[in-house]
Amino acid sequence: MRKRYPIEIIHHSKQIVFIPDDLPNGKDISKIAFGNKVIDVTCAPHPKGRKVIVLSDDVQKELSMPNLSGSLHVFTDQQTLFIGPLIGILTSGFTPYPLRPIGERSMFFAKLLSVNKMVGAIPFVFGEEHIDWDTGLIRGYFFVDDGWNTMDVPFPNVVYDRLPNRRTERKSELLSLKSRMQTDYLIPWYNPGFFSKLDVFERLQQDERAAEYLPETHQFSSFSVIERMLSNYGNIYVKPANGSLGLGIHQILFDKHKGDYYCRYRDQDGINKLTKFDSLEKLMRKIFHKRNLAHMIVQQGISLLRSEKRLIDFRVHTNKDEYGQWQVAAIAAKIAGQGSVTTHVNNGGVVKSLDELFEDKQERDMYEKKLSDVSLLLSSILEKNMEGIIGEIGFDLGIDKTGRVWLFEANSKPGRSIFKHPKLKNFDLLTRKLSLSFGIFLAEKAITAPEDIFK
């Protein structure tokens, strides 16, 4: 059973631990654990009956526990008191600069670590190079009092994967690190890897509940598939199977009356283009002559809702919470830039909150419920059909002119550009809190019911 208590350190040299009298199974405790470090201790009820856990500083030192303020979660199992949890956030790209130790992403990680007192956990950031396998310690990066500090801590209870890209996660040393921590130390690892667009669609199509939200999507195989889909839908999207940030996306449109083909895309100089061709062959030869089409997917175009003639789609963030349940953490509308093929902010797109987009409350509530219901359903289906432990997903969804919801993409490490909008600041905070709260849930599971995680 999980509880939360303030933690205090006293100067003493006899490995003393005082515990509250309402701590479950407190009378049986003979060991204390922090991260993967476990030591023998003498436990006694707090002499003044206070609802706090007090550690002598020699216990703190032997556990390699940082100086603490605030309250933490504790679990009891097999005569052991587990304090924490200690959540390791794995990434790469560390620099020698103390003010920005993780380069441009330092602010993101600082904000993520800053919710530690709200959730009652101890998070830190680390890279593969910070692990000392011989001592079982990691040189962790902590954000304390508005500044970065490094401290040696034990191996964590759980690892939250925040590797920045596919190329990094495929490195042999990181693959080895992940395998070793999971296999040798039984450390749960959540949000591993990046989704492949085609893989997501193929797995969702196996579930009839999800299939109705999926536009027709194929890996590029031949021009005849494009011809057929253009004939059926009037427009299609051709995009990289493993792309991000809207890069490399092309919209192809077919004018049935005149027989002309159009391609809308962003060129290498960042300029939105709309080019006309009298045949599909000429379009493909001109636009895609330097691209490996085998790595592209072809997707049905949808007649989406518009705002001032500009396309609208929606970003929905879902997160698992401290009870292991899916929650909708944020919803935002994204409106395409002038002449843009995507709604991405870096391509002139604009982020709006739902109340800015839909002035009518009844209409707004209807669309919010539709987007939330679909996102929660798809989250639970993806969780069952994808490898690893998934704790957060970013969905790109569209709503067509009939009110039907469509899934365009699902991202395992969603971008956070929508949270720059002033009305979405609270959702930014919520997603960060939930990211760590799910780590608390996994830490407790790994201690009390490991068979549920390491199946």
User: What pLDDT is attached to residue 2?
Assistant: 83
- Looking at residue 405, its amino acid is V
- Looking at residue 437, its amino acid is S
Mean pLDDT of 361-372: 97
Reply yes or no on whether the pLDDT at 107 is more than 90: yes
* b/e burial code for range 159-172 (CB count within 10 A of at least 16 → b): bbbbbeeeeebeee
Kindly give, in sequence order, each residue whose CB lies less than 8 Å from that of residue 103, ignoring residues fewer than 6 positions away.
93, 94, 95
User: What pLDDT is attached to residue 293?
Assistant: 81
Confidence of residue 433 (pLDDT cuts 50, 70, 90): very high
User: What pLDDT is attached to residue 245?
Assistant: 63
User: What pLDDT is attached to residue 12?
Assistant: 75
User: What pLDDT is attached to residue 430?
Assistant: 96
Mean pLDDT of 304-326: 93
User: What pLDDT is attached to residue 246?
Assistant: 64
Mean pLDDT of 191-201: 89
Reply yes or no on whether the pLDDT at 142 is more than 90: yes
Query: Which helix or strand (DSSP H or E) is residue 174 part of?
Result: helix 172-184
User: What pLDDT is attached to residue 17?
Assistant: 93
Percentage of the chain lying above the pLDDT 70 cut: 97
What CA–CA distances, in Å, run from 19 to 26, 86, 355? 7, 20, 49
Q: Which two tokens stand for residue 62?
A: 């032997």
Q: In which residue are the tokens 């991260």 written?
A: 35
Distance CA 322, CA 433 (A): 10
Reply yes or no on whether the pLDDT at 340 is more than 80: no
Q: State pLDDT tens for residues 437-449.
A: 999 999 999 999 9
Mean pLDDT of 397-405: 95
CB neighbour class for 60 (10 Å; exposed up to 12, middle 13-18, buried from 19): middle
Q: Which fold has domain 197-213+304-443?
A: D-amino Acid Aminotransferase; Chain A, domain 1 (3.30.470)
Reply yes or no on whether the pLDDT at 382 is more than 90: yes
Q: Which two tokens stand for residue 203?
A: 């797995």
Mean pLDDT of 132-148: 95
- Looking at residue 130, its amino acid is H
Mean pLDDT of 19-39: 92
Q: State pLDDT tens for residues 261-313.
A: 999 988 888 788 899 999 999 999 898 876 778 888 999 999 999 988 888 99
User: What pLDDT is attached to residue 347?
Assistant: 65
- Contact predicate 55/17, CB 8 Å: yes
Kindly give, in sequence order, each residue whose CB lies less than 8 Å from that of residue 3, ignoring residues fewer than 6 positions away.
22, 23, 24, 73, 74
Confidence of residue 141 (pLDDT cuts 50, 70, 90): very high
Residue 221: CB atoms within 10 Å: 11
Q: Which two tokens stand for residue 153?
A: 């801590």
Query: Which helix or strand (DSSP H or E) is residue 292 part of?
Result: none
121: nearest Cα among 443, 427, 413, 390: 443
Mean pLDDT of 165-174: 92
Distance CA 36, CA 154 (A): 6
pTM over 0.95: no
Distance of CA 128 to the CA centre of its chain: 20
User: What pLDDT is attached to residue 20?
Assistant: 94
- Contact predicate 313/331, CB 8 Å: no
Distance CA 5, CA 226 (A): 61
Which CATH number describes the domain made up of 87-187?
A: 3.40.50
Q: Which two tokens stand for residue 425?
A: 């600041």
User: What pLDDT is attached to residue 27?
Assistant: 86
Confidence of residue 229 (pLDDT cuts 50, 70, 90): very high
Reply yes or no on whether the pLDDT at 74 is more than 70: yes
Q: Is 29 helix (H, G, I), strand (E, B) or coil?
A: coil
Angle subtended at Cα 185 by Cα 181 and Cα 186, rounded to the nearest 5 degrees: 90
What CA–CA distances, in Å, run from 54 to 82, 123, 212, 358, 415? 13, 21, 55, 53, 41
Reply yes or no on whether the pLDDT at 96 is more than 80: yes
Confidence of residue 56 (pLDDT cuts 50, 70, 90): very high
DSSP assignment letter at 338: T
350: nearest Cα among 367, 334, 366, 326: 334
Reply yes or no on whether the pLDDT at 10 is more than 80: yes
Decide yes or no: CATH 2.40.40 for domain 3-84: yes
Distance CA 265, CA 9 (A): 60
